[in-house]
Amino acid sequence: MKPMSKFRIIVLGLLLSVIAGGGLVVYGQTAPPLVLNPMNDHVQLSPGESYQGSFLITNEGNELRTVVIDLVDFRLTEGGSFKALEEGQAYDYSLSDYVTFSPGTVEIEAGDTAEIRYSIDLPGEARPIPHWSALIVRAEENSETTQQGSESITFQINLNFSYVFALFQHLPGPPSVTGQLDQLTASLLENQESTDLNVEVPFKNTSEAIAEINAYIEIRDVSGDRVYRYDFSPDKLALPQSKRIFAHTFQDVDLDSGRYLVIAVLDYGGSHNLAGQTVLNVN
């Protein structure tokens, strides 16, 4: 089966760190300098079909690292955060039962690279829906990981000295995504030094497909002129039958008294874009 285009999104971490900037999120101490390439895989696969792939782990540090790889199920929170599920927790979209990988432990010398091979064998009786799971890569020096995540993916993230390689299985053909926007909210946040504008755009993926969303927010005055605009990093994920809130804070805004129109546009791969708006009154 032909791999789909690699996802640019979602970096998750233990601290609130927007993934659009990429990079590692460090928790507590300096993380072992491991690099994953690629950082995730999206494949088209029907029940009864198989797929093989691999990714590389490079040790960019100056000493030998012993690396352990584990398979976990996960969800995304409404804010786009990664959240690993507890072992044995049932999940309809789990890919874990169909994934094998090798090796489970590998020693990587400083400057060297190790290859992790994996395969997906989707049985014929599997439900014809998307499935996903993740391979967590961690340095043996710190065996504890956390189930908490934070905002958004390039799917190279640090979970207490851990990194994530995410696997997504899609059904062949163009995804049939449907979705809806709930009410936008816009509020001014006053502080001693500046005034910020917080906007939240709730999107509900009402389909059984994984939505890859491009979105932006605009602030316009009464004459229709654009005052501010924010473009989210491309290809944000909204998993099937789940809610995703696109939030952004415009910092240190300079708005005269009056009415402003807050507009949000989401392109989620459907037949048309979704658009929503709300009115902001500035006294």
Mean pLDDT of the chain: 82
Closest CA to 166 of 106, 267, 84, 244: 84
Strands 113-121 and 162-170, sheet pairing: unpaired
User: pLDDT at position 89, please?
Assistant: 76
Examine residue 3 and say whether the peptide bond preceding it is cis (omega within 30 degrees of 0).
Answer: no
User: pLDDT at position 192, please?
Assistant: 81
Q: What does the alpha-carbon distance between residue 129 and residue 72 come to, in Å, rounded to a whole number?
A: 19
Closest CA to 35 of 152, 165, 153, 167: 165
- Quick check: helix, strand or coil at residue 234? coil
* Partners of 11 in beta bridges: none
Closest CA to 140 of 104, 100, 86: 104
Closest CA to 88 of 80, 98, 96, 76: 96
Residues 18-36 as b/e (b if ≥16 CB within 10 A, e otherwise) read: ebbebebbebeeebbebeb
User: pLDDT at position 229, please?
Assistant: 98
Dump the DSSP string for 11-41.
--BSS---GGG-S----SSPPP-EEEESSEE
Enumerate residues 6+ apart whose C-beta is below 8 A from 223. Answer: none
User: pLDDT at position 161, please?
Assistant: 58
The residues of the chain scoring below 70 in pLDDT are 1-32, 141-161, 270-272
Tokens of 5: 């285009």
Strands 162-170 and 40-44, sheet pairing: parallel
Q: Classify residue 161 by its DSSP letter.
A: S
State whether the Cα torsion 122-126-128-134 is positive or negative: negative
The model's pLDDT over 187-235, given as tens digits with 9 standing for 90+, comes to 999 888 889 999 999 999 999 999 999 999 999 999 999 999 999 998 7
The amino acid sitting at 159 is L
Dump the DSSP string for 62-119.
SS-EEEEEEEE-EEE-TTS-EEEPPTT---TTB-GGGEEEE-SEEEE-TT-EEEEEEE
Domains, in order of start, for the chain: 19-170 (2.60.40.10), 179-282 (2.60.40.10)
Neighbours of 92 (CB within 10 A): 10
Regarding pTM above 0.85, the answer is: no
User: pLDDT at position 271, please?
Assistant: 64
* Partners of 200 in beta bridges: 185, 247
